[in-house]
Structure 1
Amino acid sequence: MKKYIIFICAGFGLLTMNSCTKLDQEFYSSVTPETFFKSEKDIKAALFRPFTHAKWYLGEDRWRLQEYTADNFAITTKGRHWYNGGENERFHYHRWTADDGWIWGSWRGTLMGVALALDTKSDLEKLDYTQFALTDELKASHLAQLDALIGFFYLRGLDYFGGMPVFESLDQEALPRNTDVELFNHIEKLLKAALENIPAKAAGDPEEGAITKGAVAAMLAQLYFNAESYINKPMYNEAKVLAQDIINNKYGTYSLDSKWNGPHSFTNNKSPEIIWSMPSEFKKLEYNWFYADFYHYNTRQYFDQDMGANNGAHLTPSRKPDGSKYDSDFKLGSPYEKFSAGDFRKKPYKYLGSGNYEGMFIIGPHLTPDGKPIVGGEEYKDKPLDFVDQVGRFSQVGAGKKYANVSQLPSKMSEGEENTGVRLVKSPIPNLNDNSMRWGGDLPIIRLAEVYYILAECNFRTGNLSEAANLINQVRKRNFADEKDSNPVTTANLDKYRLLDEWSIEFLGEGRRRTDLVRWKAFTSERWWDHNPSNAAHLNRFPVPNEAIAGNNNLKQNPGYE
């Protein structure tokens, strides 16, 4: 077995890259399985190295491409902060280019994940597991997990870019892009093969980051569910069969969590709803990248914590500067007001101690846990902060100021302030007294609720509105006292927009919104807040980064970006 540094497009830690589609090898040592692997612990360490990359991959640039380009989130310019050379506006207005860093980071991150998994697979294939008192069945399971992980990375790459180079070993160089259909078929082959050898999750087993049979089946369902937007071939019936089988526990034992926050709590690894998640633990593998982006510089006082933040992201507004709702202006967006009255999640976030908390948002007066006002440092320097579900320069309204009254205020990406926008607290934050629980909530990747919604949408598309409504309501009811939903889904109110609203409500901030809009042909054709439709279909995919093409002249650009 040879150990090597893999080059894929610029460095991450020990990995560097000089070409985006060239999995070069520089051999710095030559070792054998007998000398490199000493125990089962060594095998597991190798197996889970590419999973660590997957945890990183699920956040940051990939999340930004999914959410800041869609209708639920924005990073407005806040006075002297966050213009960022126009980057945030380019993505919000769908004016990105092949030189944008988020796109480059996602292309190279995808192929790096493939390379890491292929590297580990190559190593483990050479091992005789019986020498470690391990079975051949376990070896087959480990190799299948790596196939599934490769399928996971390529599935995301297909979603972002369409066809990508298909690597099946590390000695291939400068490959051209495979077609969309070829990549789709490769993903399907990987997942179907993995499904045969990966064991199912047993009832009561906590999630620890490994891919189980249920996760593979769910990824295959995701592939089919979005096939129409990937390869122009509707495969909702195939997705429907898989989703129903998962719900029927054919691929492992899962059930919807009865608690509204069970899938996101400090102990969500024990939630029966989690099909696949990434472990998170304080001062170890932390799921925390979002903290700095979402919260105000002084929000640490709200949480009674010691962490700083950058005050960037927030929900797109549900209300105009004058306080009226955007209801009649557009059908997408307005995420906060899409939550119904009485929904447990709609409360302001409050940590109650001992791992208990309520609410999911920061909105209204910003107060310390003992009720003292938290003051601002920019437009509201030394004044109490009050987070509003609006975008506008309210500090510039009044006698002798830029605007005489609120009705004159524009609401757009350039007009934010330090208190602009509702902030999401989906992963709970404890106070310093319970700091050992910090980052205790694992990163959910696939939840059973998603499978319910896939099945619901498939039923909707085939005309079974009553079953679609029933499936969604089974998830919704846990968010209300005594399971009495104030606004249940019915056959009368269920249409394309209600479905998109339900995806938004349940999976707000979980890095999937763009994919849902693309599937419904709404990403480029619909209006929301400060975003007008382009009707430019090529924007449903991102361009191949220019840095990737510079490193491999066999790559061809996506149509519309030439």
Structure 2
Amino acid sequence: MKKRILILSVLAVFFSCSDATDIVQAGELNDARLFTSVNNIQLFLNETYDRLGTENEILVSSLLTDEVAIGSGLVSNETQRFFLLTTNGFAANIWNSHYNTINYCNRLLRGAALYTPKASETAQYNSILAQARALRAFSHFQLLTYFSTDLSNDAAPGVMLVDFVPTADQDIPRSTNGEVFKLIESDLAYAQANLINPTGPTAYKFINSNFIRAFKARMYLYRKNYAQALINADDALTNSGLVLSTSTVSVANFPSTASTVVPNGAANGANTINVDPGTGFPVQRALFQIDQWASTSSPMYRKMWVDAAQGEILFAVDKPINKINFSSQYNTNGSYITGGPLYDMGRSLFNLYNADLGGGAQDYRRWCFVDRSSTISATPATASRTSEVIVIDKYPGKNGGHTANDLKVFRLSEIYFIKAECLIRSGNLTGAADLIRQVRQARSYTGGVVPLPVYANATAAIADVLLERRKELSFEGHRYIDLKRLGADAGVTGTDRFAQDAVNSSATNPVNINVTDYRFTLPIPQREINVNALTQNPGY
């Protein structure tokens, strides 16, 4: 009797729970109730923009290459030691973040289909769909970039193609690169045909024509379709309405001699000079920054990095103060020596900024990307982690927030590099050299004319493009992919990490890895392998 009562009780609970799951609860906000106007669809799009981010790509690129060293505030980091497992948090975050964005895009597209716009609303309605599809295309591309072994091979395994809202129990296999790129190109074609360009001072933080031009130029470059990459790069250079941000500074009381000198990082007055040990090159404090961020006398290049001006930015992800404080990933509380640096700039990269640009031109990136409070050792080969602290200042925060910065996704300088690489592939080495010279000239703050590089062959030209991309696009998520794409063609064997920047190096914990190493493709996260039975990338 007890058994019968127990069985009946279980059945009663089962059927009552089943009935409950079929009930539409009062006040439930489902698609039919949400997507009832263009304004509501726009609100959902705004939330979709908030899903987008490239923070994890930037960090994994810094850690898995030669951009950073472990700072005095950290003991060790598995990723920075090239210890990459299928449970790696950065790989999982890239995967989850972009599929989250894709899910929002698909929910918007599904919900918007329930609403028929009025004639007066059609253009705005279609533009909202265009932005959602462009965001979906970009997220699929980011996933391919980090999880596909070879973007130039359409038959190679890609990622999960998701152009619908899946159910919780639905398995989704990996599609080929070609299948995913077909969706991306379809989404971009729709976006290009239906987008209403945003206007106003923050227009570059929304999907716009420049985003599409730059996206297509990068996408086709990575696929080694250089003809299409060149067409879109030219389109961006000709029609973006932007120019390279200049770095020149005019300081009325800039001294002609280093008569008043203090060590780099000491407490300075407005008219004293910082000197890097071993170089003796002076630079006045005002040349770098008047306050923590920028002033009216700061060059446009500096204003761009503190979110005070658009400059040459084609598209950025908006990150307001107190939303996602990305800069705290490099420096806990601020990009200065007392701000808790977690990662220092790699010494090999720092040395490149100290180099003369030629023709008497000096590189402003030395002063824009390295905080003046840094301690620079005259003997870096024997310096300890605490005696040399090269504070990364590419994300210095913005006025009112020490650790909040927008994420610059596409900039005009990258388009110059894309065109230069395309010209090299077609044999026009001189044309490529002039593009590289123009970027270097824009980064000079001392005047002088940067000389035109002379390349003996395509290998030397590609190596120079890779070098300039390393300097200009540091801490923007490019170095990891650039080494994978261009290393072999440039005659570069691997990462260029300074020996002192490695932690307890050994055979299993190397200072550097080769460009052919399997770790230049991220592992499919183990949780996705378990759930969707996806095939893992080689080496893991």
Instruction: Tell whether the structures are fold-level matches, with TM greater than 0.5.
Output: yes
Moved more, 204-213 or 32-41: 32-41
> Is 1:423 equivalent to 2:421 in the alignment?
no
Q: Given the alignment of the two structures, is residue 105 of structure 1 paired with residue 96 of structure 2, yes or no?
A: no
Name the SS of the counterpart of 1:497 in structure 2. Answer: helix
Which residue identity does 1:211 align to in structure 2?
I
2:218 maps to which of 214, 222, 227: 222
C-alpha offsets along residues 210-267 of structure 1, whole Å, 9 cap, x if unaligned? 101221121111111001xxxxxx3111101111122121xx5333334333532432
1:277 aligns with 2:316: yes
2:41, 2:194 → 1: CA distance?
18
2:421 to 430, 453, 457: 457
**Counterpart in 1 of 2:444?**
480
Q: 2:34 aligns with which of 19, 33, 36?
A: 36
What whole-Å deviation, never above 9, does each CA across 1:437-473 have from its counterpart, x for those lacking one? 7567533211122112111111112111111122222
Query: Aligned pair in 2 of structure 1 residues 213, 68: CA closer, same or farther (>3 Å)?
Result: same
| Residues 362-511 of structure 1 aligned to structure 2 (within 5 Å) | 362=371, 366=374, 386-388=375-377, 394=383, 417-429=385-397, 435-436=399-400, 442-481=406-445, 483-486=447-450, 488-491=452-455, 495-511=461-477
Cα distance change on mapping 1:419 and 1:66 into 2, 3 Å: same
CA distance in 2, matches of 1:100, 1:159: 17
CA distance in structure 1 between the partners assigned to 2:403 and 2:65 by the alignment? 27
Q: Which residue of 1 aligns with 2:336?
A: 299
**Residues 1:199 and 2:196 aligned together:** yes
> TM-score, structure 1 length as denominator?
0.69
Distance 2:316 2:103 in 1: 21
Note closer, same or farther for the CA distance 1:347–1:183 as it changes in structure 2 (3 Å cut): closer
**What is the DSSP-based 3-state SS (H/G/I as helix, E as strand, rest coil) of the residue aligned with 1:446?**
strand
Please tell me whether the aligned partners of residues 334 and 403 of structure 2 are also in contact (alpha carbons under 8 angstroms): no
CA distance in 1, matches of 2:443, 2:45: 38
The 3 A distance-change label for structure 1 pair 460 and 333 is farther
1:36 to 1:534, Cα distance in 2 relative to 1, 3 A = closer
Give distance in 2, aligned partners of 1:177 and 1:480.
46
- 2:195 and 2:107 map into 1 onto residues whose CA distance is 20
Residue 333 to residue 226, structure 1, CA distance change in 2 (3 Å): farther
Cα distance between partner residues in 2 of 1:298 and 1:423: 6
Counterpart in 2 of 1:525? Answer: 493
Q: What amino acid does structure 2 have at the position aligned with 1:542?
A: L
Pairwise CA distance, 1:489: 3.2
The aligned residue for residue 3 of structure 1 is: none
Stretch of structure 1 that moved more, 121-130 or 149-158: 121-130
Q: CA deviation at 1:296?
A: 8.2
Whether the aligned pair in 2 keeps the contact of 1:335 and 1:504 (CA below 8 Å) is no
- Supply the AA of the counterpart residue of 2:408: P
Whether the 8 Å CA contact 2:495–2:514 is kept in 1: the answer is no
**Secondary structure in 1 aligned to 2:467?**
helix
- Alpha carbons 1:207, 1:274 under 8 Å: kept: no
CA distance in 2 between counterparts of 1:83 and 1:437 reads 28
**Structure 2: stretches of 5+ with no match in the other structure:** 1-22, 149-157, 247-299, 500-510
Give the Cα–Cα distance (whole angstroms) in 1 for the partners of residues 425 and 517 of structure 2: 22
Aligned match of 1:145 in 110, 131, 145? 131
SS in structure 2 of the partner of residue 174 of structure 1 = coil
Deviation at 1:41, TM superposition (A): 5.3
Bigger Cα displacement from structure 2, 141-150 vs 491-500: 491-500
C-alpha distance 535-209 of structure 1, shift in aligned 2 (>3 A): closer
> What displacement does 1:186 show?
2.2
Q: 2:41 is matched by which residue type in structure 1?
A: I
Kindly state the Cα deviation for residue 515 of structure 1 after the two structures are TM-superposed.
Answer: 1.3
Q: Which residue of the other structure, out of 56, 65, 80, is the alignment partner of 1:88?
A: 80
Partner SS for 1:275: strand
Q: Which residue is 2:15 aligned to? A: none
Matched, 1:182 2:174: no
Write the distance in 1 (CA, Å) between the matches of 2:192 and 2:437.
30
Structure 2 letter corresponding to 1:278: V
1:41-56 map, 5 Å:
42-54=40-52
Q: Distance in 2 between matches of 1:544 and 1:292?
A: 23
CA–CA separation in structure 2 for the residues paired with 1:32 and 1:134: 26
Shift of the 81–448 alpha-carbon distance from structure 1 to 2, 3 Å rule, reads: closer
What is the aligned-residue RMSD (CA, Å)?
3.4
Relative to 1, partners in 2 of residues 1:334 and 1:344: Cα closer, same or farther, differing over 3 Å? closer
Change (3 A) 1:455 1:240: same
SS at match of 1:178: strand
- The answer to whether the aligner puts 1:213 opposite 2:209 as a matched pair is yes
Q: Aligned to 1:514, which of 480, 495, 505? A: 480
What is the rounded CA distance, in whole Å, between the counterparts of 2:363 and 2:48 in structure 1?
A: 37
2:233 aligned with 1:243: yes
Q: Is the 2:335–2:392 Cα contact (8 Å) retained in structure 1? A: no
SS at match of 1:525: coil
Q: Is the 8 A contact 2:127 2:195 kept in 1?
A: yes
8 Å CA contact 2:48, 2:104 repeated in 1: yes
- Confirm or deny: 8 A CA contact 1:148 1:211 kept in the other structure: yes
1:36 partner amino acid: L
Sort the Cα spacing of 1:392 and 1:290 in 2 relative to 1 into closer, same or farther, 3 A: farther
Given the alignment, which residue of 342, 360, 363 partners 1:312?
342
Change (3 A) 1:121 1:27: farther
- Look up the equivalent residue of 1:175 and give its one-letter code: I
1:69 and 2:67 are equivalent in the alignment: no
Which stretch shows the higher mean deviation, 177-186 or 143-152? 177-186
Question: What is the SS of the residue equivalent to 1:220?
Answer: helix
Name the TM-score, length of structure 2 as normaliser.
0.71
> Following the alignment from structure 1 to structure 2, what is the Cα–Cα distance between the partners of residues 390 and 27?
71
Deviation at 1:477, TM superposition (A): 1.7
Partners of 1:268 and 1:469 in 2: CA distance? 29
Secondary structure, in 3 states, of the residue corresponding to 2:133? Answer: helix
Q: Does 1:159 align with 2:145?
A: yes
Larger radius of gyration: 2
CA distance in 1, matches of 2:24, 2:166: 12
Query: For 1:39 and 1:388, how far apart are their aligned partners in 2?
Result: 62
Contact 1:317 1:389 in 2 (8 A): no
Cα separation, 1, equivalents of 2:33 and 2:320? 32
Deviation at 1:206, TM superposition (A): 4.0
Separation in 2, partners of 1:248, 1:168: 33
Name the counterpart of 2:278. Answer: none
Mapped to 2, the partners of 1:47 and 1:127 lie a distance apart of 15
Task: Specify whether residues 217 and 298 from structure 1 end up closer, same or farther in structure 2 by C-alpha distance, changes over 3 A only.
Answer: closer
Q: What's 2:536 paired with?
A: 557
